Amino acid sequence: MKRALVVCLALGLGCASAPPKPAAPAGSVEVQYESNAPATPAGGAATFWANRKDLIQAPPPPKPAALALPKIDRFTLSNGLQVIVVARKDLPVVSFGLAVEAGGYDETRQTLGVSDFVAAMLRKGTKRRTADEISRAIDFVGGTLDAQSSNEATSVACSALAKDGGLCLDLLSDVLLHPSFPEKEMGEVRDQMLAAVASRFDSPGELASAHFDNQLFGEDHPDGWILTADDVKKIDRPALVKFWQTFYKPNRAILAVAGDVDAGHLRGQIEKSFRGWTRGQAPARPVWTVPPVAGTHMLLVDKPDLTQATLVLGHAGIRHADPHWYAVTLMNYVLGGSDFSSRLMTEVRSKRGLTYGIGSSFGSSLYQGAFRVSAATKNESAWDALVASVNEIRRMQADGPTAPELDKAKGYYAGSYPFSLQTAAGIAAALVTAQQHGLGDAYVRDLPLRLAAVDEAQAKAAAHDFLHPDTLIVVIVGKGDVIEPALARSGVAYQRINYKAPISAAARAAKTPAK
């Protein structure tokens, strides 16, 4: 039976007593934290700062308000391509961004990496232009042309001065509709992907995250598949062509245009540029779910040359479109999403000095994602940092955020959200994401108001329902000989592997001789 990590809720430095803690499950591991720091003496700093009238008062937090969106024009071409136009005349620039539903969620385990390869090859040549000709054309006007793929979609973007918008649209449609996937360009892309795979073993953060994803999502979920060198090496040109022909369809795509444009005139240009793109049907995506986890699963990844340890821990999270996402987002801001003012940063770093930095996130993904806490610490304090982190997760689950903490979180989003969407391109990108996730324009306009509408009871319910400190995936990357003794003494089950071992748990099991 896996044991849960349960720790007491003793306060940090200078505290005289600890608040009540939730009851620990049977068979759990208890770790008591005690402070060696003396209490603040009578007449000391606390008395000095009490009732002062000459201190600068912090300004009140901004009041939540709907975002003042510019005029948004929408239309759909006869081939099914959806178009969003956000016209703003304040700067003579234009940005085109096309997102097509073709990514890692459309791969199989046998074709892993092909969506990234296709995206990287779009700029490497078309039936009309070579890779060098594409680069010269966009560089001559001082513009940018990029493509990248994620599990959810492939995005191709082009930006330039408004007077060069026609060229940008021509290049964008050319690389999407007429890629040639030249063999001579594949070697460079393959080398770049292989270098990225190899560099993962030199980055403790990337390595810990990859192991965490594999442990959490498993071998039957794309988020749990970890790209290997063998995956990259077996990708050939026919695989690229097949993926492009199968999934790059206009009725699976959204084009967002933002900047100094005239929506009426632009429609004719877009229809002309994309009229050769034929609609079609692609295989439906499975409904991906996170497999259930029982108890705590801990993996120690031994990298002997590391002077510090990296921790990633967490469990299944929430979909962006889940109605509880707003309450969960505010709760997480208090827990670990607010830099130096979060509970995790205050308790684990500031009061205990156990980590250089720590934070938590739930994300905003199409399918159910992950709740994760990431931290860096000394090898010698890895276990203490771990249990202190679980301590704060457990305390949040039991008590939830306080009203003042919740107000601070709402104020943060009310103040920061408008700044994140200052540009027309930023607004257009947000509209595309909202549409892909089934949220609509109202989500982009009203996000601060929807967050502000979350009350204390809803935030506490979110903490109770969406934090699971007894069913955690824990990955520690660090110097095994230093970290392991504390793990062994704890009584919590764990597995130790070398950092060069396959990240896939199934691949490691296949290499282990049967007993």
Give the mean model confidence (pLDDT) for residues 278-303: 94
| Same fold? 72-274, 297-511 | yes
* Architecture of the domain delimited by 297-511: 2-Layer Sandwich (3.30)
Is 406 within 8 Å of 453 (Cβ atoms)? no
User: Predicted confidence band at 61 (pLDDT cuts at 50, 70, 90)?
Assistant: confident
CATH superfamily of 72-274: Metalloenzyme, LuxS/M16 peptidase-like (3.30.830.10)
- Residue 264's Cβ-count burial label (10 Å; 0-12, 13-18, 19+) is exposed
Q: Which residues neighbour 235 within 8 Å (Cβ) at sequence distance 6 or greater?
A: 111, 113, 114, 117, 190
Count of other CB atoms within 10 angstroms of residue 288: 16
For the beta sheet containing 297-302, the strands, ordered from the edge strand earlier in sequence to the opposite edge, are 357-361, 370-378, 308-316, 473-478, 297-302, 494-498
DSSP state of 126: B
Per DSSP, the three-state class of 429 is helix
Domain boundaries, the chain: 72-274, 297-511
The pLDDT value given to residue 42: 54
Separation CA 199–CA 469 (nearest Å): 32
What is this structure's pTM?
Answer: 0.88
- Number of Cβ within 10 Å of residue 234's Cβ equals 13
**What digits encode the pLDDT tens for the residues 241-283?**
999 999 999 999 999 999 999 988 999 999 999 999 999 999 9
**pLDDT tens profile 76-113:** 999 999 999 999 988 999 999 999 999 999 999 999 99
SS3 of residue 454 by DSSP:
coil
Sort strands 494-498 and 297-302 into parallel, antiparallel or unpaired: parallel
Query: Other CB atoms closer than 10 Å to residue 507's CB: what's the count?
Result: 15
Nearest to 151, CA basis, from 16, 249, 270, 288? 288
Amino acid identity for residue 405 in this structure: E
